[in-house]
Structure 1
Amino acid sequence: MLRKLLWILLISFPLFAILCASFSEENPTDRRVLVLLDDFAIKSSHSLYFKSLESRGFDLDFKLADDPKLALQRYGQYLYDAAILFCPTVERFGGSIDVASFLDFVDSGHDLIIAADASGSELIREIAVECGVDFDEDPAAFVIDHTSYAVSETEGDHTLIASDDFIQSEVVLGSKKIEAPVLFKGIGHSINPANNLVLKVLSASPAAYSANPNSKLSTPPSLTGSAISLVSVVQARNNARVLISGSLSMFSNWFFRSGVQKAGSTTKYEKCGNEQFLTELSKWVFHERGHLKAVNVRHHKVGEVDEPSIYRIKDDLDYSVEVYEWSGTSWEPYVADDLQVQFYMMSPYVLKTLSTDQKGRYYTSFKVPDVYGVFQFKVEYQRLGYTSLSLSKQIPVRPFRHNEYERFIPAAYPYYGASFSMMAGFFIFTMVYLYTK
């Protein structure tokens, strides 16, 4: 019996350690990452990218995409905090994993990186479609650009794109500017402009188009110009993040080490921007940057410190909240000037921009409106590249009690005067009427 208990403990301890190290609000950086490969050769050919993740503390678990023992969950708990799909040709995942498994994985708040290419399977395309991205339907299509190709690497190959059309966001790509263009060779995709959850991080030039480079164009290309996205990101409503690239090669060691000279430019870079671009982008995807949390939400009457259970109309109150950003290792004060609070009942009766002390604390004061009912303090904060904040706190507001009204209301003095003047006039009229003939 004792030996059996020891075996159970030995088997369950690794699982317990995995679960304890998983994603949490206090330590939001993903740590255990599943990497699915078409072939283990990719582990060597893309080793620089994997080493950059491991150097930042990520535990990468490499598996073949068709491994029959593949699993994302055990005993109802996810074994991984994030997943990287470097398996563009896989037709069917191994084990019990399918498209729905990865969609549930993202719906549960976990992050995902998808790299496709021109030989991408329907399986990978289906996952991308569910994330809001549509790859070119032609399986032999490449992004072609006759003006922004890399002339220093493969002479005459206009499918080797040198793109520097980056998203203008420091929180997504870091504060250090990416000087060199990024090399890209693969398939393009489009996003729905009405979908505000998907962002183009790297776009093609206006002269680019998507087509089969080995055949003549008989019909207009389905994707053209800057509408072609080379790399996109998705931030779901639950703050899970997804990176979608149309090129697996751009993550490779060969691209990381390659120099680049863009067509029409005399500047030749000894090293392209792929390593910096993808490293900074992975920091955002894995919540090392742009992850916010709000704590210590407080409200009380002016001059008091305790939070009341109910407010009275026309009370003066103070509201405050502390907001911090995860830096990858610790929580740092988040400083902005666009955080707002609503005092809400069916619609916002009060909308105030919060002031900040530059140390993470946001605060404001306002007067409770002259309307009673059940109100909410609401903070709905959405900013490009940052996780969204949605805070709400309910509080009832009552009218004045009968003994709390002012004895004489200044605004009613004309009515008081009218009443007394009428009584005085009636008295004078009566006296005149009675005592005069």
Structure 2
Amino acid sequence: MSRPLLSLLTFLFLSIICNAFSPENPTDRKVLVLLDDLSVKSSHSLYFQSLQSRGYDLDFKLADDPRVALQRYGQYLYDALILFSPTIESLGGSLNAAAILDFVDSGHDLILAADASASDLIREIATECGVDFDEDQAAMVIDHTSFAVSDTEGDHTLIAGDNFIQSDVILGKEKIKAPVLFKGIGHSVNPANSLVLKVLSASPAAYSANPKSKLSTPPTLTGSAIGLVSVVQARNNARILISGSLSMFSNRFFRSGVQKAGSTINHGRSGNEQFVTEISKWVFHERGHLKAVNVRHHKVGEADEPSIYRINDELEYSLEIYEWSGTSWEPYVADDVQVQFYMMSPYVLKTMSTDQKGIYYTSFKVPDVYGVFQFKVEYKKLGVTSLSLAKQIPVRPFRHNEYERFITAAFPYYGASFSMMGGFFIFSLVYLYHK
């Protein structure tokens, strides 16, 4: 290979890497889309077009393509992965469940859509992310009270779901205008797992079973415990969307009208397009991504940051928090940001004030304990990326020449000492010279 050609290839590769996810531009840009069949590209084109219109570069590949790869020379080629291949048993190239989980562990994002014929591979990836699909391979979510009137098969597996999570960060400030059409498999979420959130749940009357056979045993998944769509925000702030329905993203469901059984309201269009668009904005960090900058602390009345504090010093602590809007950083406004002055346990815990422009500040007195302390900000809130800030600072006691020479509270002791000395002097004179 000639030197000019090698230089050109190196430049192109570095350009790909440099345009990837970065702290200053956290929105995913390069997205790999893996499909069971390339026909999905056209049957779900409205969803893909909505992503491309927002600046995403989608790379479509068959899931079993032997040339597919997430990384090359130790560098990831993509910022996010969309896995629209529910029936795939084995991924192509070097891809497998472990490679996809490593991709997420490296801070990248994932959208996974399954259906009633979900393969063991898809189930394994979902389980590792904290979501367990129904073990029955033929099971689907059935609802005899909240099914869509347009369910032509009559088995009530076409559900009009409207049991959404109450979070403006995840689903946007504008309320979802219509129920979401869902046809697929349900899943369960461990309630003790705080990283997994059900975004769309089934109604209390729903259950998971094989619609083509009679129930011989009670279903394992019932009611609102059934998750239809869930999200995961990992501890490294990677985000995952897991849906039990691939059809939910399809053009047909986007364009369909929806009317719930027992309701007279016929919505002109389902809420699928609005729902998946808003949740995709969250998954791809267009919303709810925080950063903290300009962390400062100093003594009251001073501007420079000291290398050490003295017990009982008055100090001020401040920082700035911004939220990514998809195009720029905007001030983040909240009333629950706290700072700890920490050594083994928090000696000081203060809720910080804000100027509504992204600046948070507080002041407090250094405790009367010396040692190595930390300023700690641990901010975790539903839907937003967590902030974890820590900075060590030593605290020393008073030096011998910094104590007050005469303490008012000690005046009685001073008086007792001088009176004792005066009495001893008088006693000595009387004893020596009295005859």
Q: Partner of 1:175: helix, strand, or coil?
A: coil
Q: CA deviation at 1:416?
A: 3.0
What residue is the counterpart of 2:258 in the other structure? 260
Q: CA deviation at 1:149?
A: 0.5
Larger mean CA deviation between 283-292 and 403-412 belongs to 403-412
Residue number among 307, 311, 314 corresponding to 1:313 in the alignment: 311
Larger mean CA deviation between 321-330 and 406-415 belongs to 406-415
What residue is the counterpart of 1:93 in the other structure? 91
Q: Give ranges in structure 2 of 5+ residues lacking alignment.
A: none
Residue number among 293, 296, 318 corresponding to 1:295 in the alignment: 293
Larger mean CA deviation between 8-17 and 35-44 belongs to 8-17
- C-alpha separation between the residues in 2 aligned to 1:40 and 1:166? 31
Q: Partner of 1:42: helix, strand, or coil?
A: helix
Q: Which amino acid aligns with 2:69?
A: A
Residue number among 343, 346, 354 corresponding to 2:344 in the alignment: 346
Q: CA deviation at 1:409?
A: 2.0
What residue is the counterpart of 2:161 in the other structure? 163
Larger mean CA deviation between 276-285 and 311-320 belongs to 311-320
CA deviation string 1:143-197 (max 9, x = no partner): 0011110013436331111111000000000000112111100000001100000
Residue number among 163, 171, 187 corresponding to 2:185 in the alignment: 187
- C-alpha separation between the residues in 2 aligned to 1:434 and 1:226? 101
For the 8 Å contact 2:151–2:157, the answer to whether it is kept is no
Q: Partner of 1:125: helix, strand, or coil?
A: helix
- C-alpha separation between the residues in 1 aligned to 2:412 and 2:253? 84
1:33–1:361 Cα change, 3 Å: same
Q: Which amino acid aligns with 1:343?
A: F
Larger mean CA deviation between 151-160 and 43-52 belongs to 151-160
2:359 is equivalent to residue 365 of structure 1: no
Q: CA deviation at 1:435?
A: 8.1
What residue is the counterpart of 1:8 in the other structure? 6
For the 8 Å contact 1:153–1:260, the answer to whether it is kept is no
For the 8 Å contact 1:149–1:157, the answer to whether it is kept is no
CA deviation string 1:5-51 (max 9, x = no partner): 11112322332211011110000000000000000000000000000
For the 8 Å contact 1:153–1:259, the answer to whether it is kept is no
- C-alpha separation between the residues in 2 aligned to 1:434 and 1:181? 109
Alignment of 1:32-431 (within 5 A): 32-154=30-152, 156-424=154-422
Q: Give ranges in structure 1 of 5+ residues lacking alignment.
A: none
TM value normalised by structure 1? 0.96
The percentage of aligned residue pairs carrying the same residue is 80
Larger mean CA deviation between 14-23 and 85-94 belongs to 14-23
- C-alpha separation between the residues in 1 aligned to 2:431 and 2:203? 99
Q: Which amino acid aligns with 1:238?
A: N
Q: Which amino acid aligns with 1:312?
A: R
For the 8 Å contact 2:134–2:221, the answer to whether it is kept is yes
Q: Which amino acid aligns with 1:138?
A: D
- C-alpha separation between the residues in 1 aligned to 2:146 and 2:429? 104
Q: Which amino acid aligns with 2:4?
A: L
Q: CA RMSD in A?
A: 1.6
- C-alpha separation between the residues in 2 aligned to 1:273 and 1:4? 55
